[in-house]
A = this chain, B = another copy of it.
Amino acid sequence: MYIGIDIGGTNLVAGVTNGKGQIIDKVTRPVNKDWDVDELCRQIGQLALQATEVGGFKPEEVHAVGVGLPGLVDNKTGTVIQTPNMPFDHTPFRKLFQEKWDVPVFLGNDANCAAIGEYWAGAAKGCDPAVVITLGTGIGGGMVVNGKLFTGFANSGMEVGHMCIHPNGIRCNCGNRGCWEQYGSATALIRITQEEMHYNPKSALWEFAEGDLNKVSGRTAFQAARVGDASGRKVLFRYLQGLSIGLISLVNILQPEIICLGGGVSNAEDDLLLDPLRELMAQGSYDRTCPTRLEKASLGNDAGIVGAAMLCHMF
Protein backbone atom coordinates (compact mmCIF):
# COMPACT_ATOMS: atom_id res chain seq x y z
CA MET A 1 0.00 0.00 0.00
CA TYR A 2 1.40 3.32 -1.14
CA ILE A 3 0.57 6.95 -0.48
CA GLY A 4 0.87 9.46 -3.32
CA ILE A 5 0.70 13.18 -2.62
CA ASP A 6 0.15 15.76 -5.34
CA ILE A 7 1.28 19.16 -4.12
CA GLY A 8 -0.09 22.15 -5.99
CA GLY A 9 -0.10 25.84 -5.29
CA THR A 10 -3.82 25.72 -4.42
CA ASN A 11 -4.52 22.23 -3.07
CA LEU A 12 -2.78 19.26 -1.49
CA VAL A 13 -4.23 15.89 -2.53
CA ALA A 14 -3.17 12.59 -1.00
CA GLY A 15 -4.28 9.21 -2.32
CA VAL A 16 -3.97 5.67 -1.04
CA THR A 17 -3.11 3.27 -3.85
CA ASN A 18 -2.60 -0.45 -4.12
CA GLY A 19 0.43 -2.14 -5.69
CA LYS A 20 -1.04 -1.71 -9.16
CA GLY A 21 -1.39 2.05 -8.87
CA GLN A 22 -5.15 2.01 -8.40
CA ILE A 23 -6.52 4.69 -6.08
CA ILE A 24 -8.40 3.26 -3.10
CA ASP A 25 -9.29 6.59 -1.53
CA LYS A 26 -8.13 10.17 -1.48
CA VAL A 27 -8.26 13.25 0.72
CA THR A 28 -7.54 16.90 0.00
CA ARG A 29 -7.00 20.18 1.76
CA PRO A 30 -6.50 23.72 0.48
CA VAL A 31 -3.12 25.41 0.74
CA ASN A 32 -2.94 28.48 2.96
CA LYS A 33 -0.58 30.96 1.30
CA ASP A 34 0.59 32.12 4.74
CA TRP A 35 2.09 28.74 5.66
CA ASP A 36 5.85 28.78 5.98
CA VAL A 37 7.85 25.77 4.85
CA ASP A 38 7.69 24.04 8.26
CA GLU A 39 3.93 24.38 8.45
CA LEU A 40 3.53 23.21 4.84
CA CYS A 41 5.59 20.09 5.58
CA ARG A 42 3.56 19.46 8.75
CA GLN A 43 0.30 19.73 6.78
CA ILE A 44 1.58 17.34 4.12
CA GLY A 45 2.54 14.84 6.81
CA GLN A 46 -0.89 15.12 8.44
CA LEU A 47 -2.62 14.66 5.11
CA ALA A 48 -0.61 11.50 4.38
CA LEU A 49 -1.66 10.04 7.73
CA GLN A 50 -5.26 11.09 7.12
CA ALA A 51 -5.27 9.36 3.71
CA THR A 52 -3.91 6.21 5.35
CA GLU A 53 -6.68 6.28 7.95
CA VAL A 54 -9.45 7.06 5.44
CA GLY A 55 -8.22 4.17 3.30
CA GLY A 56 -8.60 1.89 6.32
CA PHE A 57 -4.91 1.18 6.82
CA LYS A 58 -2.40 1.53 9.62
CA PRO A 59 0.74 3.63 9.10
CA GLU A 60 2.89 0.50 9.36
CA GLU A 61 1.06 -0.95 6.33
CA VAL A 62 2.34 1.88 4.13
CA HIS A 63 5.33 0.76 2.05
CA ALA A 64 6.28 4.21 0.82
CA VAL A 65 5.11 7.80 0.51
CA GLY A 66 5.69 9.62 -2.78
CA VAL A 67 5.42 13.34 -3.26
CA GLY A 68 5.02 15.11 -6.58
CA LEU A 69 5.35 18.86 -6.98
CA PRO A 70 5.91 21.42 -9.70
CA GLY A 71 9.53 22.48 -9.68
CA LEU A 72 12.98 21.04 -9.21
CA VAL A 73 13.45 18.16 -6.81
CA ASP A 74 16.39 15.86 -6.09
CA ASN A 75 15.25 12.42 -5.02
CA LYS A 76 18.81 11.31 -4.27
CA THR A 77 19.19 13.80 -1.46
CA GLY A 78 15.46 14.06 -0.69
CA THR A 79 15.53 17.80 -1.31
CA VAL A 80 12.94 20.13 -2.84
CA ILE A 81 15.30 22.54 -4.52
CA GLN A 82 12.90 25.09 -5.91
CA THR A 83 9.22 25.54 -6.69
CA PRO A 84 7.36 28.54 -8.09
CA ASN A 85 4.82 30.06 -5.66
CA MET A 86 5.72 27.80 -2.74
CA PRO A 87 8.06 28.38 0.17
CA PHE A 88 10.37 25.41 -0.60
CA ASP A 89 13.99 26.43 -1.09
CA HIS A 90 16.58 23.66 -0.89
CA THR A 91 14.26 22.13 1.70
CA PRO A 92 15.39 18.74 3.14
CA PHE A 93 11.84 17.45 2.68
CA ARG A 94 12.54 13.76 3.28
CA LYS A 95 14.33 14.47 6.53
CA LEU A 96 11.55 16.77 7.78
CA PHE A 97 8.86 14.24 6.85
CA GLN A 98 10.66 11.28 8.41
CA GLU A 99 11.16 13.11 11.71
CA LYS A 100 7.41 12.60 12.23
CA TRP A 101 6.90 9.33 10.34
CA ASP A 102 9.73 6.99 9.54
CA VAL A 103 8.63 5.64 6.16
CA PRO A 104 10.47 5.60 2.80
CA VAL A 105 9.83 8.95 1.07
CA PHE A 106 10.34 9.63 -2.64
CA LEU A 107 10.24 12.90 -4.52
CA GLY A 108 9.36 13.66 -8.14
CA ASN A 109 8.32 16.65 -10.14
CA ASP A 110 4.73 16.83 -11.36
CA ALA A 111 5.46 16.15 -15.04
CA ASN A 112 7.47 13.07 -14.08
CA CYS A 113 4.71 11.86 -11.77
CA ALA A 114 2.19 12.27 -14.59
CA ALA A 115 4.38 10.07 -16.80
CA ILE A 116 4.76 7.43 -14.09
CA GLY A 117 1.02 7.48 -13.40
CA GLU A 118 0.13 6.91 -17.05
CA TYR A 119 2.83 4.24 -17.35
CA TRP A 120 1.64 2.40 -14.28
CA ALA A 121 -2.13 2.61 -14.58
CA GLY A 122 -3.12 4.80 -17.52
CA ALA A 123 -2.92 5.08 -21.30
CA ALA A 124 0.81 4.23 -21.35
CA LYS A 125 0.44 1.12 -19.23
CA GLY A 126 3.38 -1.17 -19.89
CA CYS A 127 4.70 0.93 -22.81
CA ASP A 128 8.45 1.52 -22.92
CA PRO A 129 9.77 4.09 -23.57
CA ALA A 130 6.64 5.98 -22.49
CA VAL A 131 6.49 9.76 -22.88
CA VAL A 132 3.80 11.97 -21.39
CA ILE A 133 3.50 15.55 -22.66
CA THR A 134 1.33 18.02 -20.76
CA LEU A 135 -0.08 20.95 -22.70
CA GLY A 136 -0.78 23.71 -20.21
CA THR A 137 0.65 27.13 -19.44
CA GLY A 138 3.85 25.67 -20.87
CA ILE A 139 4.70 22.18 -22.14
CA GLY A 140 5.85 19.64 -19.57
CA GLY A 141 7.33 16.25 -20.26
CA GLY A 142 8.22 13.03 -18.50
CA MET A 143 9.61 9.72 -19.71
CA VAL A 144 9.90 6.15 -18.46
CA VAL A 145 12.74 4.09 -19.98
CA ASN A 146 13.40 0.45 -19.14
CA GLY A 147 10.80 0.74 -16.42
CA LYS A 148 12.66 3.60 -14.71
CA LEU A 149 12.03 7.33 -14.57
CA PHE A 150 14.31 9.29 -16.89
CA THR A 151 15.57 12.28 -14.91
CA GLY A 152 18.63 13.44 -16.81
CA PHE A 153 21.88 14.09 -15.01
CA ALA A 154 20.75 16.76 -12.56
CA ASN A 155 16.99 16.10 -12.42
CA SER A 156 16.12 18.60 -15.15
CA GLY A 157 15.70 16.21 -18.07
CA MET A 158 12.64 16.33 -20.33
CA GLU A 159 12.28 20.11 -20.38
CA VAL A 160 10.84 19.40 -23.81
CA GLY A 161 8.91 22.67 -23.94
CA HIS A 162 12.23 24.43 -24.43
CA MET A 163 13.46 22.64 -27.51
CA CYS A 164 13.96 25.27 -30.17
CA ILE A 165 11.68 24.93 -33.21
CA HIS A 166 12.04 28.49 -34.59
CA PRO A 167 15.50 30.02 -33.99
CA ASN A 168 14.23 33.55 -34.65
CA GLY A 169 10.75 32.93 -33.33
CA ILE A 170 8.63 34.15 -30.44
CA ARG A 171 10.43 35.14 -27.26
CA CYS A 172 9.98 32.62 -24.45
CA ASN A 173 9.95 33.32 -20.71
CA CYS A 174 13.17 31.31 -20.50
CA GLY A 175 14.93 34.06 -22.45
CA ASN A 176 15.35 32.13 -25.70
CA ARG A 177 13.39 32.48 -28.89
CA GLY A 178 11.22 29.93 -30.62
CA CYS A 179 10.78 27.38 -27.82
CA TRP A 180 8.23 24.68 -28.62
CA GLU A 181 5.91 25.79 -25.82
CA GLN A 182 5.45 29.14 -27.55
CA TYR A 183 3.71 27.21 -30.36
CA GLY A 184 2.25 24.10 -28.76
CA SER A 185 1.07 24.94 -25.22
CA ALA A 186 -2.49 25.88 -24.23
CA THR A 187 -1.19 29.42 -23.75
CA ALA A 188 0.01 29.42 -27.36
CA LEU A 189 -3.36 28.17 -28.60
CA ILE A 190 -5.09 30.99 -26.76
CA ARG A 191 -2.67 33.55 -28.23
CA ILE A 192 -3.16 32.23 -31.77
CA THR A 193 -6.94 32.30 -31.27
CA GLN A 194 -6.83 35.92 -30.06
CA GLU A 195 -4.61 36.92 -33.00
CA GLU A 196 -7.08 35.42 -35.44
CA MET A 197 -9.99 37.19 -33.75
CA HIS A 198 -8.29 40.55 -34.30
CA TYR A 199 -8.40 39.94 -38.02
CA ASN A 200 -11.85 38.36 -38.19
CA PRO A 201 -14.45 40.28 -36.24
CA LYS A 202 -17.21 38.12 -37.71
CA SER A 203 -15.67 34.79 -36.79
CA ALA A 204 -17.65 32.40 -34.59
CA LEU A 205 -14.60 32.53 -32.31
CA TRP A 206 -16.09 35.75 -30.91
CA GLU A 207 -19.35 34.02 -30.03
CA PHE A 208 -17.64 31.22 -28.15
CA ALA A 209 -15.54 33.79 -26.31
CA GLU A 210 -18.68 35.79 -25.45
CA GLY A 211 -17.34 38.77 -27.37
CA ASP A 212 -14.40 39.12 -24.97
CA LEU A 213 -10.78 38.42 -25.87
CA ASN A 214 -10.10 37.72 -22.19
CA LYS A 215 -12.60 34.88 -22.24
CA VAL A 216 -10.73 32.95 -24.94
CA SER A 217 -9.72 29.53 -23.66
CA GLY A 218 -7.99 26.46 -25.06
CA ARG A 219 -11.45 25.22 -26.06
CA THR A 220 -12.58 28.24 -28.12
CA ALA A 221 -10.94 27.30 -31.42
CA PHE A 222 -12.13 23.69 -31.14
CA GLN A 223 -15.70 24.89 -30.53
CA ALA A 224 -15.61 27.23 -33.53
CA ALA A 225 -14.04 24.61 -35.78
CA ARG A 226 -16.76 22.15 -34.71
CA VAL A 227 -19.46 24.42 -36.12
CA GLY A 228 -17.49 24.85 -39.35
CA ASP A 229 -16.02 28.31 -38.68
CA ALA A 230 -13.17 29.00 -41.12
CA SER A 231 -11.17 31.10 -38.65
CA GLY A 232 -11.49 28.40 -36.02
CA ARG A 233 -10.12 25.85 -38.47
CA LYS A 234 -7.29 28.19 -39.44
CA VAL A 235 -6.32 28.60 -35.78
CA LEU A 236 -6.25 24.84 -35.31
CA PHE A 237 -4.23 24.36 -38.49
CA ARG A 238 -1.57 26.78 -37.25
CA TYR A 239 -1.59 25.34 -33.74
CA LEU A 240 -1.35 21.70 -34.85
CA GLN A 241 1.53 22.54 -37.18
CA GLY A 242 3.53 23.96 -34.28
CA LEU A 243 2.55 21.19 -31.90
CA SER A 244 3.46 18.52 -34.44
CA ILE A 245 6.98 19.87 -35.05
CA GLY A 246 7.98 19.15 -31.48
CA LEU A 247 6.20 15.80 -31.44
CA ILE A 248 8.02 14.72 -34.60
CA SER A 249 11.39 15.73 -33.13
CA LEU A 250 10.58 13.74 -29.99
CA VAL A 251 9.70 10.72 -32.12
CA ASN A 252 12.98 11.03 -34.03
CA ILE A 253 15.08 11.48 -30.90
CA LEU A 254 13.33 9.14 -28.46
CA GLN A 255 11.18 6.84 -30.60
CA PRO A 256 8.89 6.12 -27.66
CA GLU A 257 6.35 3.31 -27.86
CA ILE A 258 3.72 5.87 -26.92
CA ILE A 259 3.31 9.60 -26.46
CA CYS A 260 0.38 10.54 -24.22
CA LEU A 261 -0.98 14.05 -24.39
CA GLY A 262 -2.31 15.51 -21.17
CA GLY A 263 -3.59 18.89 -20.02
CA GLY A 264 -6.90 20.56 -20.85
CA VAL A 265 -6.21 20.82 -24.60
CA SER A 266 -5.99 17.03 -24.84
CA ASN A 267 -9.70 16.78 -24.05
CA ALA A 268 -10.58 18.00 -27.56
CA GLU A 269 -12.32 15.50 -29.79
CA ASP A 270 -10.05 13.11 -31.68
CA ASP A 271 -11.03 14.26 -35.18
CA LEU A 272 -9.87 17.80 -34.37
CA LEU A 273 -6.73 16.98 -32.37
CA LEU A 274 -5.31 13.46 -32.28
CA ASP A 275 -6.24 12.36 -35.80
CA PRO A 276 -4.60 15.30 -37.62
CA LEU A 277 -1.60 15.12 -35.26
CA ARG A 278 -1.17 11.41 -36.00
CA GLU A 279 -1.20 12.16 -39.71
CA LEU A 280 1.40 14.92 -39.35
CA MET A 281 3.57 12.63 -37.20
CA ALA A 282 3.40 9.80 -39.73
CA GLN A 283 4.38 12.20 -42.53
CA GLY A 284 7.23 13.79 -40.60
CA SER A 285 8.89 10.95 -38.73
CA TYR A 286 12.26 9.80 -39.98
CA ASP A 287 11.11 6.20 -39.63
CA ARG A 288 8.07 6.45 -41.92
CA THR A 289 6.45 3.46 -40.27
CA CYS A 290 6.34 5.70 -37.15
CA PRO A 291 5.70 2.96 -34.61
CA THR A 292 5.06 5.59 -31.91
CA ARG A 293 1.42 5.72 -30.89
CA LEU A 294 -0.16 9.06 -29.96
CA GLU A 295 -2.90 8.83 -27.35
CA LYS A 296 -4.77 10.91 -24.83
CA ALA A 297 -3.51 10.62 -21.25
CA SER A 298 -6.24 8.77 -19.39
CA LEU A 299 -5.82 9.47 -15.68
CA GLY A 300 -6.44 13.22 -15.68
CA ASN A 301 -5.65 14.86 -12.37
CA ASP A 302 -5.24 11.45 -10.71
CA ALA A 303 -2.04 10.79 -12.69
CA GLY A 304 -0.10 12.95 -10.24
CA ILE A 305 -1.23 10.97 -7.21
CA VAL A 306 -0.70 7.59 -8.85
CA GLY A 307 2.70 8.63 -10.19
CA ALA A 308 3.80 9.96 -6.81
CA ALA A 309 2.64 6.76 -5.11
CA MET A 310 4.60 4.63 -7.58
CA LEU A 311 7.80 6.75 -7.44
CA CYS A 312 9.36 4.15 -5.15
CA HIS A 313 9.51 1.68 -8.07
CA MET A 314 10.99 4.13 -10.57
CA PHE A 315 14.54 4.89 -9.44
Q: Hey, which bits of chain A sit against chain B, CB under 8 A?
A: 128-129, 141, 145-146, 148, 150-154, 156-160, 162-167, 174, 176, 241, 245, 248-250, 252-257, 284, 286-287, 289, 291-292
Contact = CB atoms under 8 A, between A and B. Distances in A.
A233 B287 CA distance: 36
B253 A156 contact: no
A164 B254 contact: no
A154 B287 contact: yes
A243 to B, nearest CB: 12
A278 to B, nearest CB: 16
A141 B165 CA distance: 19
A279 B158 CA distance: 22
Contacts of A141: 253
B286 A159 contact: yes
Given A164-B248, A286-B174, A129 B156 contact: no
B154 A255 contact: yes
If over half of A's interface residues share one DSSP class (helix, strand or loop), that class is named, otherwise mixed; here it is loop
Among A165, A248, A292, which residue has the most Cβ atoms of chain B within 10 A? A165
A152 B290 CA distance: 12
Nearest to A127: B153
B163 A256 contact: no
A160 B251 CA distance: 10
B291 A154 contact: yes
Contacts of A287: 154, 156, 159
B249 A286 contact: no
Nearest to A291: B154
B148 A129 contact: no
Contacts of A241: 167
Contacts of A250: 253
Contact of A157 (B153, B158, B163, B253): B253
Contacts of A245: 164, 167
22 contacts: A129-B152, A129-B153, A145-B146, A146-B146, A146-B148, A152-B256, A153-B291, A153-B292, A154-B255, A154-B287, A156-B255, A157-B254, A159-B253, A159-B286, A162-B286, A164-B249, A166-B166, A166-B167, A167-B241, A167-B245, A174-B286, A253-B254
